[in-house]
C-alpha cells in the first residue's frame, strides 16, 4: 500500500513539474540542432524520430529513479513546494538558469583548457 502511494505521488510530482512539456521542448531543441548539423536528413525522419519518444514510457522509467533517491514524505514535500508560487517560478526559470550556467561553464572550461595548453607548451596544438 505504501509503495503504491509513493508511485502515485511520484506520478503527481512528474505532472506538477510538467516533465512531459520539458521533454518535448528539449526534443524540439534537439530536432532543430539536428536539422542544422545534418541538413541532408529528411524532415520526415525527424518527425518520425520525435513520434518515437513515448513520454508515458519515459515517465514510467523515472518512477524507480525518484523512488530510489526520495522517500514518500520527501516526494510529498516536493509536490507541495512546486505547487507554491515560488515552486512554479523555479520550474519556469530553471531551464533558463541551467542554460546560462552551462554557457558560463563552457566559457570557463575553454579558458582553463587554453591556460593548461599554454602551461604545457602545447599552445599551437591543432585538432584533427
67 and 97 inside one domain: no
Percent of the chain scored above 70 by pLDDT?
95
65 and 95 inside one domain: no
User: pLDDT digit string (tens) for 57-72?
Assistant: 889 999 999 999 999 9
13 and 76 inside one domain: yes
CA distance 50 to 56: 14
Which residues span the domain enclosing 111?
85-122
Q: Write 45-48 long-range contacts (CB < 8 A, 24+).
A: none
9 and 36 inside one domain: yes
Domain count, the chain: 2
Among the listed residues 91, 76, 54, the one whose alpha carbon sits nearest the alpha carbon of residue 5: 76
pTM above 0.85, yes or no: no
Average pLDDT of the segment spanning 10-20: 95
**Is the pLDDT confidence value at 33 over 90?**
no
**Is the pLDDT confidence value at 96 over 60?**
yes
Higher pLDDT, 128 or 65: 65
Please report whether residue 106 resides in a domain. yes
23 and 71 inside one domain: yes
Please report whether residue 128 resides in a domain. no
Q: What angle do CA 79, 80, 84 make, to 5 degrees?
A: 115
pLDDT for the residue 126: 63
Amino acid at each position: 500500500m505504501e509503495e503504491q502511494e509513493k508511485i502515485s505521488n511520484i506520478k503527481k510530482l512528474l505532472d506538477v513539474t510538467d516533465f512531459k512539456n520539458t521533454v518535448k521542448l528539449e526534443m524540439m531543441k534537439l530536432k532543430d540542432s539536428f536539422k542544422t548539423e545534418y541538413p541532408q536528413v529528411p524532415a520526415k525522419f525527424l518527425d518520425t524520430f520525435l513520434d518515437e519518444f513515448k513520454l508515458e514510457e519515459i515517465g514510467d522509467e523515472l518512477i524507480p529513479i525518484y523512488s530510489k533517491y526520495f522517500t514518500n514524505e520527501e516526494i510529498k514535500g516536493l509536490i507541495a513546494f512546486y505547487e507554491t508560487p515560488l515552486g512554479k517560478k523555479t520550474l519556469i526559470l530553471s531551464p533558463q538558469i541551467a542554460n546560462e550556467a552551462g554557457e558560463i561553464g563552457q566559457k570557463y572550461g575553454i579558458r582553463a583548457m587554453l591556460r593548461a595548453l599554454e602551461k604545457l607548451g602545447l599552445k599551437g596544438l591543432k585538432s584533427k
